[in-house]
């Protein structure tokens, strides 16, 4: 099976430098793309059916197509490398072990978007990623892949800069990210206007996830049909999926889109550790609804997961075992979201700490049945349509599905507090 995202990755050895990367077929997509019309590249990516890997899964080429035609002013590509969704560690793998793949993807994408500047917005804690990206960027300049006349193409000028951040999950929300990049507080912006039309400093901007852009070299170099054949059955492409929690071999791997949760959990992660059973799992990060063991045979595809009442999200699954308290797990997630709320709107700023307070009471056994009703009400109060961005609705997802699947445990907590140790 072709593994376009991880073919150069070998844990334990240093990532390829420019020459090694090039010898392995690297930067071919740049040499090919500069002979194409930018609009044809956009269409190619659209036809490939690549969905964004940042969590929402929107068709990448379609997103690019909303960028207005060039007007002579600046246009930007911004890479979202904030990766702070609890349970998510895939962009770290890609950048730490093959930084040139992201740079190549950015160059090819900027050509398609006719953008002259690319920023990589990287969370500050990813210090190894930072060092390796700086190295890769500098090698790309030295080898004529960045700067003036990229790859010898007259008039194709491109600069790429690395911006390292300093914490806060909300910076991953694409409009908050743009504010952060401009040096402002990272509160989200109203949409519309969408960033494609008015983004960084009011100019057309595309924000894409790291993994999304790492897919571009393969698609451009090898074509739509090749890409579509990477998936299983009707599904297209590969993606980085992974598992954390009490499994034998936690980690993340490049898998064909469309394998089942069971295949990921058993074939890749080696199944549950001895003495632990699977109770439930979060299919794609802390802001997705719990799924249960009966959902294990679903394909890991956004549509299929949505039908089961959750979201594929980042497709890194987190396993809840039978010896871990589900109410405590939700309490931990809510504490995270309450802490990371940017404070802009009331349901999120005030709702999440209230939920946290109630869950703390339950832990100690001082909650009431009325509190369970309040929790239920809060999932709607913080739900879609009531808040300025998707943070609070995301936080509501594990809570609402937790109430659905673990009501007995909530009630037991009301009676005598947490009985897990």
Partner 1 sequence: MNNLIASTAVKARELTPEEIKEIEHEKTHYPYAQAVGLEALKIVQKYQGWVSDESLLAVSEYLDIPPDELEGVATFFNMIFRRPVGKNVILLCDSVACWMLGCDSLNEHFKKTLGIDYGETTADDMFTLIPVPCLGACDRAPVMMIGRETYYNLTTEKIDEIIAEYKAKG
Ligand X SMILES: Cc1cc2nc3c(=O)[nH]c(=O)nc-3n(C[C@H](O)[C@H](O)[C@H](O)COP(=O)(O)O)c2cc1C
Q: Name the site residues for ligand SF4 (rule: CB under 6 A).
A: 170, 188, 341-345, 348-349, 387-389, 391-392
Using CA atoms of 265, 267, 269, 274 in order, give the dihedral in degrees to the nearest 10. Answer: 90
Can you give the binding site for ligand X, defined by CB under 6 A? Answer: 52-56, 58, 63, 80, 82-85, 169-170, 172-174, 207-209, 212, 389-391
3-state secondary structure of 251: strand
Rounded Cα gap, residues 21 and 294, in angstroms: 43
Considering the complex, state which of residue 65 and residue 346 has its C-beta at the smaller distance from ligand SF4: 346
Rounded Cα gap, residues 13 and 16, in angstroms: 9
Q: Give which of ligand SF4, ligand X, partner 1, none residue 180 binds (C-beta under 5 to 8 Å, depending on kind).
A: partner 1
- DSSP at 3: -
Tokens of 298: 């679903």
Q: How many residues does the chain have?
A: 421
Q: Give which of ligand SF4, partner 1, ligand X, none residue 172 binds (C-beta under 5 to 8 Å, depending on kind).
A: ligand X
What ranges make up the beta strands (E) of 285-406? 316-321
Considering the complex, state which of residue 58 and residue 161 has its C-beta at the smaller distance from ligand X: 58
Kindly write out the interface string for residues 102-141 of this chain, putting x where it contacts partner 1 by CB under 8 A and - elsewhere. Answer: ---------------------xxxxxx-------------
3-state secondary structure of 395: helix
Helix, strand, coil percentages, rounded to 5, for the chain: 45, 15, 40
CB 241 within 8 A of CB 98: no
Tokens of 253: 């791997």
Rounded Cα gap, residues 153 and 74, in angstroms: 19
What is the closest distance, in whole angstroms, from the C-beta atom of residue 168 to partner 1 in the complex? 6
Considering the complex, state which of residue 77 and residue 392 has its C-beta at the smaller distance from ligand SF4: 392
Q: Which residues of 184-201 are buried (b: 16+ CB within 10 A; e: fewer)?
A: eebbbbeeeebbbebbbe
* Cβ atoms within 10 Å, residue 6: 19
Q: Give which of ligand X, partner 1, ligand SF4, none residue 165 binds (C-beta under 5 to 8 Å, depending on kind).
A: partner 1
Task: Give residue number: closest CB to ligand SF4.
Answer: 348
Q: Give which of ligand SF4, partner 1, ligand X, none residue 344 binds (C-beta under 5 to 8 Å, depending on kind).
A: ligand SF4
**Is omega for the bond preceding 193 within 30 degrees of 0, making it cis?**
yes
Considering the complex, state which of residue 103 and residue 372 has its C-beta at the smaller distance from ligand X: 103
What is the closest distance, in whole angstroms, from the C-beta atom of residue 92 to ligand SF4 in the complex? 23
What is the closest distance, in whole angstroms, from the C-beta atom of residue 393 to ligand X in the complex? 8
Considering the complex, state which of residue 172 and residue 258 has its C-beta at the smaller distance from ligand SF4: 172
Burial of 239 (0-12, 13-18, 19+ CB in 10 A): buried
CB 80 within 8 A of CB 55: no
Q: Give which of ligand X, partner 1, ligand SF4, none residue 15 binds (C-beta under 5 to 8 Å, depending on kind).
A: none
CB 28 within 8 A of CB 4: no
CB 188 within 8 A of CB 170: yes
Rounded Cα gap, residues 238 and 253, in angstroms: 10
**Binding of partner 1 by 329 (CB under 8 A):** yes
Q: Give which of ligand X, partner 1, ligand SF4, none residue 411 binds (C-beta under 5 to 8 Å, depending on kind).
A: none
Q: Site residues for partner 1, window 391-420 (CB under 8 A)?
A: none
Considering the complex, state which of residue 215 and residue 379 has its C-beta at the smaller distance from ligand SF4: 379
Q: Give which of partner 1, ligand X, ligand SF4, none residue 164 binds (C-beta under 5 to 8 Å, depending on kind).
A: partner 1
Q: Give which of partner 1, ligand X, ligand SF4, none residue 297 binds (C-beta under 5 to 8 Å, depending on kind).
A: none
**Binding of partner 1 by 83 (CB under 8 A):** yes
Kindly write out the interface string for residues 237-256 of this chain, putting x where it contacts partner 1 by CB under 8 A and - elsewhere. Answer: -----xxxxx---xxx----
Considering the complex, state which of residue 351 and residue 367 has its C-beta at the smaller distance from ligand X: 351
- DSSP at 13: S
Residue carrying the six token digits 């899964």:
57
Considering the complex, state which of residue 220 and residue 247 has its C-beta at the smaller distance from partner 1: 247
What is the closest distance, in whole angstroms, from the C-beta atom of residue 311 to ligand SF4 in the complex? 17
Q: What is the CA radius of gyration of the chain?
A: 22
Q: Residues interacting with partner 1, by CB under 8 A?
A: 74, 83-89, 91-92, 123-128, 161, 163-169, 180-186, 201, 242-246, 250-252, 286, 316, 318, 320-321, 324, 328-329, 332-333, 336, 339-340, 342
């Amino acid at each position: 099976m072709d593994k376009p995202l991880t073919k150069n990755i070998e844990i334990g050895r240093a990532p390829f430098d420019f020459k090694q990367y090039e010898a392995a077929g690297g930067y071919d997509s740049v040499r090919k793309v500069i002979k194409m019309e930018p609009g044809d590249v956009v269409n190619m990516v659209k036809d490939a059916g690549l969905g964004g890997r940042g969590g929402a899964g929107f068709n990448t080429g379609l997103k690019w197509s909303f960028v207005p035609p060039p007007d002579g002013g600046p246009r930007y590509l911004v890479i979202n490398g904030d990766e702070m969704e609890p349970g998510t560690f895939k962009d770290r793998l890609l950048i730490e072990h093959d930084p040139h793949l992201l740079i190549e993807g950015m160059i090819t994408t900027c050509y398609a978007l006719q953008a002259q500047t690319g920023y990589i917005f990287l969370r500050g804690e990813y210090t190894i990623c930072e060092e390796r990206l700086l190295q890769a960027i500098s090698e790309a300049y030295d080898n004529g892949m960045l700067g003036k006349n990229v790859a010898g193409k007259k008039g194709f000028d491109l600069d790429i800069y690395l911006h390292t951040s300093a914490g806060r999950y909300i910076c991953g929300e694409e409009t908050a990210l743009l504010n952060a990049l401009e040096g402002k507080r990272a509160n989200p912006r109203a949409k519309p206007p969408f960033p494609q039309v008015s983004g960084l400093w009011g100019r057309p901007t595309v924000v894409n996830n790291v993994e999304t852009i790492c897919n571009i070299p393969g698609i451009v170099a090898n074509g739509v049909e090749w890409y579509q054949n990477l998936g299983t059955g009707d599904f297209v492409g590969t993606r980085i999926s992974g598992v954390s929690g009490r499994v034998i071999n936690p980690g993340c791997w490049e898998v064909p889109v469309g394998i089942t949760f069971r295949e990921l959990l058993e074939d890749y992660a080696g199944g549950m550790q001895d003495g632990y059973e699977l109770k439930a799992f979060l299919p794609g990060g802390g802001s997705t609804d719990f799924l249960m063991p009966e959902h294990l045979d679903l394909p890991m595809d956004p549509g299929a997961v949505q039908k089961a009442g959750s979201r594929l999200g980042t497709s890194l699954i987190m396993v809840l075992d039978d010896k871990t308290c589900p109410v405590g797990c939700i309490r931990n997630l809510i504490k995270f979201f309450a802490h990371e709320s940017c404070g802009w709107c009331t349901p999120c700023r005030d709702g999440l700490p209230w939920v946290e307070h109630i869950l703390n009471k339950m832990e100690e056994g001082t909650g009431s049945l009325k509190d369970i009703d309040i929790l239920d009400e809060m999932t709607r109060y913080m739900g879609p349509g009531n808040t300025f961005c998707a943070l609070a609705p995301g936080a509501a997802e594990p809570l609402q599905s937790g109430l659905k699947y673990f009501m007995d445990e909530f009630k037991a907590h009301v009676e005598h507090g947490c009985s897990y140790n």
